[in-house]
Amino acid sequence: MTFQALLLTQADGKTAAAVTQLDESALPVDGNVLVAVDYSTINFKDGLAITGRAPVVRKWPMVAGIDGAGTVLDSSDPRWRTGDRVVLNGFGVGETHWGCLAQRARLQGDWLVRLPDAFTSRQAMAIGTAGYTAMLSVLALERGGALGPVKPGDGEVLVTGASGGVGSVAIAILSKLGYRVVASTGKTAEADFLRALGAADVIDRAELGAPGKPLQKERWAGVVDSVGSHTLVNACAQVRYGGVVTACGLAQGMDFPASVAPFILRGVTLAGIDSVMAPLSLRETAWKRLAQDLAPDRLQAITREIRLGEAIDAASQIMAGGMRGRVVVDVNA
């Protein structure tokens, strides 16, 4: 049996991407669950891999796609049976193991999470790694820091990279939970969109993007940051005593040119968010909470759908900063 997939190859250090027909026998043998993929998505990491902008891919050739949702076709893992609905996020899929921008994927059973009944496969990919990461960040705010959880009444919560996948889902979740959310974005034309998601206020990312003082006026009770670099540094410098900052991205850069002052003088907690290798128990909690705390109308508002053949152009768009919200890929169209 053949299936279509977005295949990445490399020659002379350059990455080439093409939708290709592959034989099912070509799927990796180091997987014990065969999944019929319904939908995938395009994340920032997918954009890096497909465009070759960063060395995301570690084995060649590679089927792209770090996320997938679909139905089990065959399994030698006792936890999974034919017909089970599953979702996959991370675990090196699309990097070291063939990914889910394809009609078929052979995966390890312990990478899979049972898809909550509240979601269709399409909705699961409208969430994707970006939305799942946003939920991990919310859980970290709720775990809290030196003064305990960051609660809705504690003050404003800043969300950076607000029009992106992580940011838009974080706004939708936090506002539904009762937090007053301030969205930071470089796309000022998206202010109405962000307010419709639940942002109480919108600020220009330029306010945070340049080098600043080690300690600044206290404002934020918590922060969800997907940008990194000076934006993350300034966010930390503006957090109120005992507040929590979650760091889950590097859109501005991997550097962190910071001072220890916010951490030792204001008791600020900086919580790193890893979505790739998070343990199953945490993944299951995150997906359960997404089913509970992410309103379907808000999810639909940030989602658009494309065909597999359009995924290469979408990857270039996300790298150029020309995309908002979430993009769902129908791998069977």
What is residue 325's predicted lDDT score, i.e. its pLDDT?
Answer: 83
Supply φ then ψ for residue 222, to 5 degrees: -160, 165
227 belongs to a structural domain:
yes
3-state secondary structure of 192: helix
Domain limits at 309? Answer: 2-115+302-330
291 belongs to a structural domain:
no
Check which CATH number belongs to the domain holding 74 and give it.
3.90.180.10
Residues 140 and 229 reside in one and the same domain: yes
Residues 174 and 63 reside in one and the same domain: no
pLDDT class of 188 with cuts at 50, 70, 90:
confident
Residues 87 and 207 reside in one and the same domain: no
> What is the end-to-end Cα distance of the chain in Å, rounded?
17
pLDDT in tens, 64-86: 999 999 999 999 999 999 999 99
d(CA 229, CA 207): 13
The average confidence (pLDDT) of the chain is 96
Mean pLDDT computed over 178-185:
97
What is residue 59's predicted lDDT score, i.e. its pLDDT?
Answer: 94
In the chain, DSSP assigns E strands to 2-11, 14-23, 33-41, 62-63, 67-75, 85-89, 104-107, 112-114, 156-159, 181-185, 201-204, 220-225, 239-247, 269-272, 303-307, 326-330
Question: CB–CB of 269/241 below 8 Å?
Answer: no
pTM of the model: 0.93
d(CA 45, CA 313): 15
Residues 99 and 229 reside in one and the same domain: no
Please give the full DSSP string across 214-238, using - where no structure is assigned: SS----EEEEEESSBHHHHHHHHHT
pLDDT in tens, 100-131: 999 999 999 999 999 999 999 999 999 999 99
Tell how strand 303-307 and strand 62-63 pair up: unpaired
Residues 204 and 240 reside in one and the same domain: yes
Count Cβ atoms below 10 Å from residue 260 Cβ, excluding itself. Answer: 10
Report DSSP state, residue 258.
-
What sign for the dihedral angle of Cα 17, 19, 20, 25? positive
d(CA 169, CA 124): 12
Residue 308 structure tokens:
């597999």
Domain count, the chain: 2
What is residue 204's predicted lDDT score, i.e. its pLDDT?
Answer: 96
Check which CATH number belongs to the domain holding 264 and give it.
3.40.50.720
Percentage of residues of the chain with pLDDT beyond 70: 100
Question: CB–CB of 234/184 below 8 Å?
Answer: no
